[in-house]
Amino acid sequence: MDEPKKGLETVKLNVREFLAKEDARRADAMETVMAEEPEPGKAHDGRFGEKFDDELSISGIVYVVIGIAAVTALGFVSSLLVYNWAAADYGEPSPTAAAPAVRPAGPLLQSSPEAELREMRREVHERLHGYGWSDEAAGTVYIPIEKAIDLVAEGGLPPAAPAAEEEAAP
């Protein structure tokens, strides 16, 4: 049993040594970086080249822009192909589809909106407060609304017509 304990202690000792060496190396690196000052007149420490923007690759930027344009064009072309394929798959429109509404030529304006509004209100007033035929062929008339309310209050509504019974399914 003593041997596993020795092995474990050796591993612990090696880890401690490694961590101590790593801490010392990091401290030395920090001291070196902190001690270095850029030369007077330089905007940076020169790690990437003489000029500050030397780390930028113009050719890399051009390749990225060309790549984005190619992916966009490929997406556009593929969506156009899918659209044309789907449109060709459906063929002619259904005969039950509504025909487009035909609009008359010219602007659709009222010639005199005030007069048309007055006429509409007169017709509504006449219908609500006068007597007349709704459908002469069917024998239905209209009466003033006050009279209709009084008649319904006195005698109630006429009985509803019986609903047509549906035929039972066999």
Cα separation values, 54 from 29, 46, 58, 60, 166, Å: 25, 9, 10, 12, 88
pTM (2 d.p.): 0.30
pLDDT tens figures, 107-154: 778 888 899 999 999 999 998 999 988 888 988 888 998 988 898 888
DSSP element (H, E) containing 134: strand 132-135
Strand partners, 141: 133
Domain assignment of residue 165, yes or no: no
Looking at the 3D structure of the chain, how many domains does it have?
Answer: 3
Range of the domain at 136: 113-155
Q: What is the pLDDT of residue 89?
A: 67
Domain assignment of residue 122, yes or no: yes
Mean pLDDT for 80-92 is: 79
Instruction: Supply the DSSP symbol for 96.
Output: T
- 62 and 50 housed in the same domain: no
pLDDT tens figures, 32-71: 766 666 555 555 555 655 665 666 778 889 999 999 999 9
- 46 and 83 housed in the same domain: no
Residue 82 has pLDDT above 50, yes or no: yes
Residue 4 has pLDDT above 50, yes or no: yes
Cα separation values, 25 from 13, 37, 47, 122, Å: 18, 20, 21, 100
Among the listed ranges 15-29, 83-97, 140-154, which one has the minimum average pLDDT value?
83-97
